[in-house]
Each structure stands twice: as C-alpha cells, then as structure tokens.
Chains A and B, each alone.
Chain A
C-alpha cells in the first residue's frame, strides 16, 4: 500500500469538509459547531456507537459489492436493486419456512438473501458477457424492476391483510439474529446492531482472501486490470464478468440479512437509505480494498448518524449536509487529478 492510497482519500475527505464548511457558514451556522455535532454524536455509548456500527453494516456490504465488481473492471450501479431482492428473498424464506428451527432457518434465509442478490446481478453480467451491453444502464434498470417486483409480491401476496403499510408479514420468530444487547451486559436491546455486523467483517476478510489469495481472485483482478493479457493467460474474460457480478450481488445480499434477520424481521418497502449508491462512494473512498471499504463505511455511517443530531440541534443546517459531504467526497476522489498539480509542486509525488 502506497502513501498515495491513504493520502488521496484523506485529502479528498478534508477538502470535502472544507467545502461543507463553506455551505454551513453561508447559511449562518457555525461550521465548527456543526462538525462537532456531526462527528461527536457517533461516539456516545451505547447509542452512538451502536447505531453507527449498525448503519455501517449495509454500507460495508454494498461497498464490498461495488469494490469487487470494480476490481473486475465493472461498474455495478445496481447494488440497490440487488439488496432489495435479497431482503425480499430473506423475508420470503422466513415467512414460508417459519416452522423450521433457528439453526436451519437462519442459514436458509441467509442463503436466500445472498442467492437472490447474486442472481439479480448475474443477469446484467450475462448481458454484458454475451451481448456486450453496458452494465451501467442495465443495472440501473434492474434497480427499478427490483423495487417494482418486490412491491408487487408484497402488496398482493405477503402483506398482512389490513396492514396499510407496504411491508410483508413478519418472519417466523426463529429467523432472527442476535443483537449486541444479547452479548454485552448493560446494552439495551433496542439498539439494532446485530450479528450481521460480524458477518460484514467476516465478508471483508473473505473478500480479501478471495481477491488476493485464490486463483479465482487472481483471474478476476487480471480481467479488470488488462482483459487482453488475461485472455493471453488463458482466462475466460466473459465468464469472469458473470462471476464477478454474481459475487458482487451476493455481497449486496448481506444488506438483506442485516435488515430482515437483524432489524425489522420483515420486508419493508423503501427500507434502504440509498445504501446502493452510497456503496459506490464507500468503494471509491476505500480504493476498492476491503480494509478501505470497512473504514470508509464507518466514516459514512458516522456522518449519517451525525446528520440526525445536526438536524435536531442546529438552527439552519439539516441532515442534508451529509449528502452534500458524501457527494463532494466522491467528486474529489474521482477527480483526483485535481490534486496532482499541487502535490507535485509540494514534492510529495514523483
């Protein structure tokens, strides 16, 4: 890992905070005060830390999803649709097989979630490999189709009669992951941080091993780095595209696990707070590396949690400052060339 791998993202974040400060100052609030609220509220115990890590869980999964796809040279804009499919699949399993004991039901629901996400992503992967149609548009379209399909099934088949909210019935009681309150004494059970966070960390480790320690990961990365050389080396680039998308979608499926098995225990229309798109920012900031993704996800979760406090406790600033910061971070990371000039002059680059 080179200096620039840590330096550029850090600079981008700082620059974004500067821009954000300008926005805040322009409407008459104090940037210092705002940022203190924004970041400080994430560190209180148990609520701050608990909620922050809970919010980070889906971002870790979608960040990993986008990062893996990116490593194969693909832009997966469809994590949003993939996670919706995964959540519905997990709910479907939890409702249909509610009678099973937890030791069977929980893995079954997890498998459904991962499988649904993988399948939903594999479709655009196949379209690209076979027809060359670009995954960006296809995945965006699949997002909309996913939400519509899940909505249909919820509305017409899986909603509790009489329930006005667009949500499925509750899953069986056995389809549940333990929460942090079950492990650490003194932590209330309302805090939704659950075992899925541990799974997210495990996923980071698995992605690392997969990409850099297995032959499959080697072939995937080679395809993304130089498809011509990959082909020369006997790698089937078409197959790698489909596999990479499937893995990507499967990782996005972790969001469904967190949501259904760990939090709401049902599928709830609109449950995703733009996790799929934020995942793109997380992957970009984390430079498509599991460790980077982990920390970038935490950063974005801190901001997200802080947004609530900012909303409540400042006069003018709303939680939208979070999105402004997120977008500015992405812009600065994507246009990193904007920093190269000044950095070269400072002698920090060759």
Chain B
C-alpha cells in the first residue's frame, strides 16, 4: 500500500482537482446569487476550445487564457439572458448550453482546422501547466474574501437568499445575478483552458467528459462555501488520481485488480448522501433556482 500514497499521488490530485476547483468556484458565484448553473460542463468546453485554438493561432498561451475567460463569459451570458431577462427555466437553459458546447467546438474546428473536432497540437513551450493551478488555489481565499468581506459579496449573497429583501434595500437583483453568472463563465472558462493548454496540448472532442458535473457535485458537497468546496475538489481529484494509480498496483486478496469503477463512483454517491442531508445540514441559497419577478 505504501507505494500508493506517494508524493506523486498528492501532485496528481492537485493537478486533477484544478479544473474542478475553478469551475466549482465559478458555480459558487452563480448559485450564491440564486441562479442554478448546470452548464459548467459547457462553459469549460468553451474555455478549453478557445484556449487551444487561440494559443495555437497566436503562439501565446496568455492570450489564449484571456480568450478562454472571455469565451466562457460570453457563453454564460446566453444562460444569464435567458434565465434572468426571459425567466426561462434555469436547468433547461443549462442543458441547452451543454448541448450547444458539444456542437460548437466541433463545428468551428471543422471550419477552421478541417479536423473532426480537435485543434492542432500546440508546441510545448506554449503550454502553461502551472499557472492555472496557482490561479485556482489563489482563487479560494480571494473568493472567500470577496464573498464575506466586500459589499459586492454581501449583496450577492442577499440576492441569492432573499431577493425581495435585497430589492427592498435598493439593490438591483438582476444586475447582481448577471454578475454571478458571468463570473461563473470566466472561472469555468479558465478551468477548461487548463485542460487544453495546461494538462494536454490540444483540444479534443468532449474533453471535459463530465468534469463540469463533478465540479457541481463538489460545490454541493462543499455546501456552497469556498474552503469546503476546495476540500471537496481535492477529494474528488484524489479519487480520480487513485483510479489511475491503482490499476495494476493494488490487488484484492484474490489477486485481481480492484475494479476502478467503484472508486469512480465515490464522489457521486457521496454527493447524493450529502444532498439528502445525511452528512450535516445542507442548505442551498434559499432563492436558488427561482426566477425573480417583481410583483408588478
């Protein structure tokens, strides 16, 4: 067993949890303002594709990173307008964004690169394997501070808990919610960018493979609080690292490999358990998911 829990496993977990953490923090801003965001998956894809394409075209990963953040923000804007301005169902719109982002990267890469969904390979010197990790873990204390020690954070939380109260206090509920959703786009876009120009060196079709949903699970597991969400992301990153590491290394008494699937499902099962209230009291922002309508 000793060869399992090595420093290698630790760094592996950190690397794997980075995109989750960025997307989860993004989701935190959105959901704290009261807007459900199951489109983290699609937002990450937007960021991943844009980062890879722009980095390759410009030869500069920093421009790619910025473009990814911008792309995430623009896609999130669609979600925001549909939900906030037109009061569409937030889950349905989120699903639409996810489907949209299954199509657009492929569509554009077919048009721009004549490929079947991937972007061209990026040269090694143009990758940024460490910066996003630093950004992600820095974002945790920053989020904590912004949310709990600035007026913006106070208003954001108020809008998610009791929008009528915020409205009565003279706050523009719609503006705050737009801010929350757009921030989720920016952060998720950066999270996706790490996948394509940090971990890998190109964008492949559907490369997020569900990470956006795991990020959402981590957010719920972390009870919508920054530090606990980080812990959840690290834990989920650990389970992913274990599934990779354990294959061929650790054996059952019978001599067979431990089925990797049982470790894979741990985050999902735990999220269900937490959501049902079995581990502590899970309290979402009270106005989460409800479009705000002034009585007029």
Contacts and interface: CB of A to CB of B under 8 A. Distances in A.
- Do A and B touch (CB < 8 Å)? yes
B38 A334 contact: no
B116 A148 contact: no
28 contacts: A28-B111, A77-B91, A133-B277, A136-B36, A137-B275, A141-B268, A144-B268, A145-B268, A148-B265, A149-B265, A151-B261, A277-B98, A278-B99, A316-B111, A317-B107, A317-B111, A322-B103, A323-B102, A324-B104, A327-B100, A327-B103, A330-B92, A330-B96, A331-B88, A335-B88, A336-B86, A337-B86, A337-B87
Chain A interface, DSSP helix/strand/loop, else mixed: helix
Interface of B: 36, 38, 78, 81-82, 86-89, 91-93, 95-100, 102-108, 110-111, 116-117, 210, 213, 216-217, 220, 259, 261-262, 264-265, 268-269, 271-272, 275-277, 282
A145 B103 CA distance: 25
B38 A145 contact: no
A130 B277 CA distance: 11
Contacts, number: 152
Given A140-B38, A284-B92, A331-B100, 19 more contacts: A27-B111, A77-B91, A133-B272, A137-B216, A137-B220, A140-B216, A144-B210, A144-B264, A148-B264, A151-B261, A152-B261, A152-B262, A280-B95, A318-B106, A320-B102, A321-B103, A324-B107, A335-B82, A336-B88
A45 interface: no
Nearest to A331: B96
Chain B interface, DSSP helix/strand/loop, else mixed: helix
A131 B276 CA distance: 6
Nearest to B278: A131
Contact of B102 (A145, A274, A334, A337): A274
A277 B275 contact: no
Nearest to A325: B103
Contacts of A335: 81-82, 86-88, 93
A299 to B, nearest CB: 15
A149 B99 CA distance: 25
User: Which residue among B82, B97, B107 has the maximum number of chain A CB atoms within 10 Å of its CB?
Assistant: B107
A152 B103 CA distance: 30
A3 interface: no
B78 A331 contact: yes
Contacts of A328: 96, 100
Given A152-B262, A277-B99, A331 B93 contact: yes
In the A-B complex, the 5 residue pairs with the closest CB atoms: A323-B103, A327-B100, A320-B106, A318-B110, A27-B111
